[in-house]
């Protein structure tokens, strides 16, 4: 079996060790005589799975008991509405828009209260993170919202906004578990697992206990009420059982390699290798300002759309797949999540050098 280097933004690459464990256990999980795909979510066997997954996540991220962890369905995009519905007290929401996903979240929040765009990088095609040190935040805002890492554009908050005491809500889908963070800096973080922590079907929500409300000012669907999900330990109905199981396997893998400290070290090394080449290349042009670059999603282009397309086609022949940029922005994107080995990035850089050497000089940056 020959595996390619998968640079997809999600669903994305998984650690090979995790895939092998899933394969080994698929027909008979924990000597139950059943596949994990068949086990009831109400069984003692599965209860142990979901409880251990939460325990490992708390250990890896150093999450105290004053934060509740929810394993939900509906994708990260469902949280665009669930967050304003659950966190509304005054019905005032403050958004920092730095890409398509934060823009979508902002537009969704407008349906449930007064949403204010307090900073944006739209003026330069979301190519940077704006200065958020002294934002004009409404005095009665219920929270300040960011998309921490922008999957499409390839930017990242390296300094968190000064929220002036308001809870910070962060979509961390494409940087989840990629580095050490202090969870106490956030009121709520959430992530779709399929980018860096598992497979599609699971959304993880980590919410500070004091933000969970028994009675909401706006009527919400039962399944969207955080308090009900907390009270039922994410088991109000059948949860995404297999996705949670895979997430648990990814957490075990993170622990086995040395935790987030080691993961972050690896990610810094991979990103530096790729950005160092981009910064000296005469063909490939990085799209994000240096102080705003993502470690997870590296975006760039060549000097023409035709060369972008040719590069992705030729890269695929070399086992470097899914490098095409998002359909809305074009260009090239290399998502180098936790499971991407440094060998994959090295092979990508080597191919980029080879491709650049093959391009006529008149097509290079002058």
Class of domain 258-359: alpha beta
Q: What is the pTM of this model?
A: 0.97
pLDDT number for residue 95: 98
- Burial zone of 99 (CB within 10 Å; 0-12 exposed, 13-18 middle, 19+ buried): buried
Tokens of 360: 């006529």
Strand partners for 94: 116, 144
Phi, psi of 324 (to 5 degrees): -70, 135
Q: Where are the domains of the chain?
A: 16-256, 258-359
CATH class of the domain whose range is 16-256: alpha beta
What is the C-alpha to C-alpha distance for residues 33 and 309, in angstroms, rounded to an integer? 49
Q: What is the mean pLDDT of each run of 10 residues along the chain (366 residues)?
A: 93 97 96 96 96 98 98 97 97 98 98 98 97 98 98 98 98 98 98 97 98 92 96 96 98 98 98 98 97 98 96 98 94 98 98 95 78
């Amino acid at each position: 079996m020959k595996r390619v280097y998968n640079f997809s933004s999600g669903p994305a690459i998984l650690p090979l060790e995790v895939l092998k464990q899933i394969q080994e256990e698929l027909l008979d999980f924990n000597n139950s005589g059943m596949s994990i795909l068949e086990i009831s979510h109400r069984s003692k066997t599965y209860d142990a799975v979901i409880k251990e997954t939460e325990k490992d996540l708390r250990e890896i991220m150093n999450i105290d008991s004053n934060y509740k962890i929810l394993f939900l369905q509906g994708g990260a995009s469902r949280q665009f509405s669930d967050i304003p519905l659950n966190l509304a007290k005054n019905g005032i929401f403050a958004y920092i828009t730095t890409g398509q996903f934060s823009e979508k979240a902002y537009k969704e929040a407008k349906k449930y209260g007064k949403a204010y765009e307090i900073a944006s990088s739209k003026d330069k095609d979301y190519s940077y993170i704006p200065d958020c040190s002294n934002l004009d935040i409404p005095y009665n805002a219920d929270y300040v919202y960011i998309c921490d890492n922008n999957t499409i554009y390839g930017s990242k908050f390296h300094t968190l906004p000064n929220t002036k005491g308001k809870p910070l809500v962060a979509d961390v889908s494409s940087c989840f578990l990629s580095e050490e963070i202090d969870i106490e800096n956030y009121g709520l973080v959430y992530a779709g697992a399929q980018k860096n922590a598992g497979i599609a079907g699971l959304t993880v929500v980590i919410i500070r206990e004091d933000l969970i409300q028994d009675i909401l000012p706006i009527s919400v669907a039962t399944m969207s009420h955080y308090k009900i999900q907390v009270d039922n330990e994410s088991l109000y109905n059948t949860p995404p059982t297999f996705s949670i199981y895979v997430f648990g396997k990814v957490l075990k893998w993170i622990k086995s390699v040395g935790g987030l400290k080691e993961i972050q070290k690896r990610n810094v090394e991979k990103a530096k290798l790729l950005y160092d080449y981009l910064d000296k290349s005469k063909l490939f042009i990085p799209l994000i300002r240096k102080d705003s670059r993502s470690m997870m999603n590296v975006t760039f282009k060549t000097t023409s759309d035709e060369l972008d397309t040719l590069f992705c086609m030729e890269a695929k022949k070399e086992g470097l797949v899914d490098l095409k940029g998002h359909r809305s922005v074009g260009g090239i994107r290399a998502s180098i999540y936790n499971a991407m080995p440094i060998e994959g990035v090295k092979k990508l850089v080597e191919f980029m050098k080879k491709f650049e050497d093959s391009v006529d000089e008149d097509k290079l940056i002058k």
